[in-house]
Amino acid sequence: MASPAPAEATAAAGPMVPRPFRVAARRREAADTWTLALEPADGGPPPAFRPGQFNMLYAFGVGEVPISISGDPAAGGPLEHTVRAVGPASAAICRAEPGEQLGVRGPFGSSWPLQAAAGRHVVVVAGGIGLAPLRPALLGALAARERLAGLVLLCGGRTPEQLLFRSQLERWGEDPRLELGVTVDSAEPGWLGQVGVVTTLIGDAPFDPASAVAFVVGPEVMMRFAIEALLARGMAASDVYISIERNMKCAVTHCGRCQFGPTFACREGPVMSFAAIERFFRTREV
Amino acid sequence: MATMRTIDEVLAELPTFAGLDPGYLEFIAGCGANRVFEAGEHLAHEGDPADSFFAIRHGRVALEVEAPGKGTLMIATLGPGTVVGWSWLFPPYRWSFDARALETTRTVSFDGACLRDKCEQDTSLGYQLMQRFASIMLERLQATRLQLLDVYGEPGAG
């Protein structure tokens, strides 16, 4: 009897069993942030994913953390994750050199509703590392640009040095298919871009609020103000989507740690319509 | 051929002055003059008398502050349609920051003392202008608070 293919074997093992992946490449994005390209160590194909989904990355012997996929879903190559070192597990993942192995479970969760954006303006608002989970959606939107009324990326960071994907941002800045606004919280005089919070870009951004759909990711405080600014432009809450972050352990609703009101961030999220969660988003302790 | 426009026509298109009675616009325009700043040129220096303010028509302006040991820090950039300066409204009428053109910047520069006098003469105009400047201040205060939170310094999404 033939043995199952590696990917089939992993799928049969269930969603709680990590599949070994090898670090194929590693690129520094900022002082504490790295993008890792991961390929299956078992020789099988990497799993397909939708923009906005996440994987559980496991630094063996240290810990496991949920990390959004930052690569292009259409590219089909190694899985890309952009990771900021904020704790022992994420720091260990960032330290992983090419050739080292990490465990991967996933992909999990909901995705950005790119299909529903046909014929509409897509407004992407990213703060800090929030650009990473939005990158697959941006790449998908650019690939389908002729089906959209417009595409706007508003991107904020702490300083110019801490902006992610800087060379790609520069290319996007010259791409006529995309309206790009970049701003940082503070900068030295050599910086020729804007200085101020990302929400200040929303008021003058070139999109029609009546026909726009917005994707927002960043620290929760930033998202609150960004949503307020989008609603002030006249957008409907049901057209604003955010990616929420909660403490996750199992990623398959068993542990309950990521419960968000009546939903689970790992199952109904991480991408959710603001209209669906507005009540809980403004509630403390949820 | 470019059309010459009067300052009150230009003012009517700036968000700060939009919707004001045409008579008031003409009144305010009497205190204004077109000024162009080349890239790197200062509109104002910290500590100097704030006898004017600027409405940006085209271009961008950086607000900067000198921080000991850190050099010059850029704390905000302002673009077309926005107003630079409100120190002309309140004693001691001195600029709190440097304002520097980042590119060729076309502005309408207003004589603050002239406008204060007109507001004193016509308190209805004064109230309307104060409402508009208070709205700008609120917007900038909220943005500054968000900057102060340093939200990207904390673990974020992803």
Which of residues B85 and A12 earns the better pLDDT score?
B85
Cα Rg of chain B (Å, integer): 17
Domain coordinates in residue numbering, chain B: 7-147
Tell me the residues of chain B between 4 and 33 that have a Cβ less than 8 Å away from chain A.
none
Superfamily of domain A6-107: Translation factors (2.40.30.10)
Interface residue B142 vs chain A (CB under 8 A): yes
Are the Cβ atoms of A158 and B150 closer than 8 angstroms? yes
Given B143, B147, B151, which is nearest A219 (Cβ)? B151
The pLDDT of residue B2 is 47
For residue A31, the chain B residues in CB contact (below 8 A) are: none
Per-residue pLDDT tens listing for chain A (286 residues): 455 555 555 556 788 899 999 999 999 999 999 999 999 999 999 999 999 999 999 999 999 999 999 999 999 889 999 999 999 999 999 999 999 999 999 999 999 999 989 999 999 999 999 999 999 999 999 999 999 999 999 999 999 999 999 999 999 999 999 999 999 998 887 888 899 999 999 999 999 999 999 999 999 889 999 999 999 999 999 999 999 888 888 888 888 888 888 888 888 889 999 999 888 887 777 6
The two tokens of residue A7 are 């990917």
Burial of A262 (0-12, 13-18, 19+ CB in 10 A): exposed
Chain B interface, mutation test: which of A154, A164, A192, A200, most B Cβ atoms within 10 Å? A200
**Cβ distance B87 to B54 under 8 Å?**
no
Are the Cβ atoms of A84 and B156 closer than 8 angstroms? yes
Burial of A50 (0-12, 13-18, 19+ CB in 10 A): middle
Interface residue B81 vs chain A (CB under 8 A): yes
Are the Cβ atoms of A195 and B158 closer than 8 angstroms? no
The two tokens of residue B109 are 């520069």
Instruction: Please measure the distance between the N-terminal and C-terminal CA atoms of chain A and give it in whole angstroms.
Output: 51
Q: What pLDDT digit, counting tens, does each position of B33-75 carry?
A: 999 999 999 999 999 999 999 999 999 999 999 888 878 889 9
d(CA A56, CA A89): 11
**Cβ distance A65 to A82 under 8 Å?**
no
Are the Cβ atoms of A221 and B158 closer than 8 angstroms? no
Rama region for B33: left / alpha / beta (φ>0; ψ in -120 to 50; rest): beta
pTM over 0.95: no
Name the residue with tokens 């790009």. A180
Closest C-alpha among A57, A215, A30, A36 to residue A129: A30
Amino acid code (one letter) for A95: R
**Cβ distance A34 to A27 under 8 Å?**
yes
Alpha-carbon distance B121 to nearest alpha carbon in chain A (angstroms): 34
d(CA B144, CA A125): 19
DSSP B82: -
A115-243: CATH class = alpha beta
d(CA A63, CA B63): 45
**Cβ distance B33 to B109 under 8 Å?**
yes
Name the residue with tokens 């504490």. A32
Domain coordinates in residue numbering, chain A: 6-107, 115-243
Q: What are phi and psi of A152, to 5 degrees?
A: -125, 130
Q: What is the 3-state secondary structure (H, E, C) of A144-201?
A: CHHHCCEEEEEEEECCHHHCCCHHHHHHHHCCCCCEEEEEECCECCCCCCEECCHHHH
Q: Under 8 Å CB-to-CB from A172, ≥6 apart: which residues? A: A138, A153, A178, A180
Alpha-carbon distance A269 to nearest alpha carbon in chain B (angstroms): 13
For residue A221, the chain B residues in CB contact (below 8 A) are: 146, 149, 151
ipTM of the complex: 0.78
The pLDDT of residue A100 is 97
B7-147: CATH class = mainly beta
The pLDDT of residue A109 is 94
Given A158, A189, A192, which is nearest B153 (Cβ)? A158
Neighbours of A131 (CB within 10 A): 28
Residue of A nearest to B98 (CA): A189
Query: Count of A–B CB contacts within 8 Å?
Result: 100
Model confidence at B4: pLDDT above 70: no
